[in-house]
A and B are shown apart, each in its own frame.
Chain A
Amino acid sequence: MTPFAVKDCALLVRMSGLPPAINLRELRERVAACSENVLFHHFCESLLRPAFDHPDYRNDFAVWAKWYLSDRVLAERLGILDPYTVKSLEELRAITLDIFDERLSEVVAIPSAAPGDEFYFLEATTVTFDTGERVNSPKELGAAIRKMTNGSIFFHFLEARRRIPVGMDDFSAWLKGEEKKNAKYIRALGSIDFYFHSLSNLKEEIIAALAKVERKR
């Protein structure tokens, strides 16, 4: 098995150039037109941005709907969206737009935020670098993950799902090199319901899942 190369990443957040949205209709228009990077940022990258660690919802649209549009119905529908369960960001966009459209058809007045509470569309560059650390066997993986930064966890376990093989974390992709031998590890990683965790919690979950496999060996 080739050693697993541990990478790290840091996020550089920037304005997307889209005008901010003040109400649900504008939010719908901007989400329909924005790049996939903007969509990815607001659904997935908020974990790496300075923010309160236990928000009600994991995506920025749901948080905004609750706090600034005061539309709890919309917030709940958006909040349950898990971007990692859809095949592509375009599919995620279609589902999100469908939720907006459904809500627009239900409400009498378009939910609006107060001036100063607009939704700002952001995107980010993920700057990645090789840490020089290597993991030589699945047995070492848990200990290696314990030493990783939140950036490494994000890059290998979450961001990886956007890369080829799409939908798979880097650890599992590496373990698949000897799929039969590593089946239990792959299953353990696959069983983690990761989207609603903070990165620190996710790290602990991954370590615990791998340790469980080790104990059973």
Chain B
Amino acid sequence: MSMTLSAYERIVGPSAITQLYRLGKRLKGRRIVHVNSTREGGGVAEILDWMVPLMCEVGLNASWEVIRGTEEFFEVTKNIHNGLQGRPVDISHRDWKIFQDVNEANMDRLRPILKSADIVVVHDPQPAFLLPLCEGRKGKWIWRGHIDISRPFRPVWKVLRTMLEKYDGSIFSMCEFAQSLPHTQFIVTPSIDPLSPKNRDLEPAECETVRSRFGLDPDRPLLVQISRFDRFKDPVGVIQAYRLVRKVLPIQLVLAGGSATDDPEGKAVLEDVLEAAGDDPDVHVLDLPPTAHETINALQRLADIILQKSTREGFGLTVTEGMWKGKPVIGGDTGGIRLQVVNHYTGFLVNTPEGAAHRIRYLLHHRERIGEMGKDAREFVRENFLLTRHLREYLTLILALRGDVTARILEV
């Protein structure tokens, strides 16, 4: 259940909340539609889950539409996703036809809503083909890329680009992800909801229940990586790092992954992870349902160190979540993790399982640094990566789209 803005006042202060209402007042009644491909699972759904109600609360007429697709469609879009993140993939003409057909079917259903909207924000590649199908559209369309497309597999990018160039603008999480496109490319970093079930404060007893449920030893250090079972998250690399440390320290590892309806590859990756974990009783591979928010929250709070050893990452909201819980993060030196993990302040950036193992050992031998870094990490998130800042940037963008988005100063 989403909160009202006033609930966030004690976290971010009253002025930040007042500012949102003031921005919203200038956009009263504007019709904004977000479109993505899943209602549950993954960072995009989590963002929209709070953003849409809060946009409504400040005065906009906001809604969220989810495209419907076949299993075949999601296999194709997973390949597109992988290709955009740089993996060579084979996407045939038939695959692109499936992609277009599903977008067409969704357009038939969504046409009245999308055609009349003032602003349409299309999230990620799955619904990207909707725009070329929306003749006579009234509003401005923005494509929001959440993934790391800094070095895409060119054949995939070349096709997607033909769709994206028709948009009025695009949003990327980091400037490194922006591509050559004939429209303005905005930079908006994502955020977390500090009051959501995944991030709200928990009673110690709630955490202990989760500890017992999974048989975790309270007397030994716990490393936790929360992420989808996806090769780019390098769960096998995390197990390798754990094994290097386990030789000298009695640690435990939790690899907890959710799954999303638009990710058919997750099962295969999970099997690989289970194989890599073998019969080690201290490696806990947990396949959690998308609704297990409190469980994830508790696991992050029980952790001594949070890991996010991705080799590619759009932003890495699990890093933000871990930091919000006052934990240092050892993260892959990639994508949005670099924006969040400030070496030696909020955690460490690493490139290899060996690097991760080295930093795990360093922190476990300097326990005081865990507390210090965790404190810095939490404040860093409070200032930069909470939903109020994120909402403010969207409202600012929508306001700017009414005028000249390239002006230096825009009075509204």
Contacts and interface: CB of A to CB of B under 8 A. Distances in A.
B384 A129 contact: no
B248 interface: no
B13 to A, nearest CB: 9
Interface string A121-159: 010011111011000000000000001110100000000
A116 B389 CA distance: 27
A126 B176 contact: no
B384 A125 contact: no
B16 interface: yes
A201 to B, nearest CB: 12
Given A10-B392, A12-B393, A50-B384, A126 B408 contact: yes
A183 B117 CA distance: 53
A53 B393 contact: no
Contacts of B389: 50
B211 to A, nearest CB: 32
B110 interface: no
A14 B19 contact: no
Residue from B19, B342, B384, B385 whose CB has the most chain A CB atoms within 10 Å: B19
A149 B187 contact: no
Interface stretch (B152-160, B217-225, B397-405): B397-405
Interface residue tally of chain A, by bracket?
Answer: 20 to 34
Interface in B58-115: none
Nearest to B179: A15
B339 interface: yes
Nearest to B191: A50
B187 A15 contact: yes
A12 B186 contact: yes
Contacts, number: 88
A125 B379 CA distance: 27
A12 B397 contact: yes
Interface residues of B, number: 43
B411 A10 contact: no
B186 A13 contact: yes
Contacts of A131: 18, 22
A70 B383 CA distance: 28
A125 B408 contact: yes
A131 B22 CA distance: 7
Contacts of B385: 50
Residue from B14, B393, B409 whose CB has the most chain A CB atoms within 10 Å: B409
A37 B408 contact: yes
B153 to A, nearest CB: 16
Given A116-B150, A122-B175, A122-B187, A129 B409 contact: no
B396 interface: yes
Contacts of A51: 384
Contacts of A54: 345
B337 to A, nearest CB: 13
A128 B410 contact: yes
A97 to B, nearest CB: 22
A17 to B, nearest CB: 9
B380 interface: yes
Given A8-B22, A50-B189, A125 B406 contact: yes
B240 interface: no
Contact of A116 (B175, B176, B186, B380): B176
A105 B393 CA distance: 42
29 contacts: A10-B19, A10-B396, A12-B396, A12-B405, A14-B184, A14-B406, A15-B184, A15-B185, A15-B187, A50-B189, A50-B384, A50-B389, A51-B384, A52-B342, A52-B380, A54-B345, A116-B150, A125-B405, A125-B408, A125-B410, A126-B409, A127-B399, A127-B412, A129-B412, A132-B22, A147-B15, A148-B15, A149-B18, A151-B19
10 nearest CB pairs, A to B: A50-B384, A120-B175, A10-B396, A149-B15, A15-B185, A13-B187, A52-B342, A127-B396, A15-B178, A149-B19
Interface of B: 14-16, 18-19, 22-23, 26, 150, 175-176, 178, 184-189, 339, 342, 345-346, 379-380, 383-385, 389, 392-393, 395-397, 399-400, 405-412
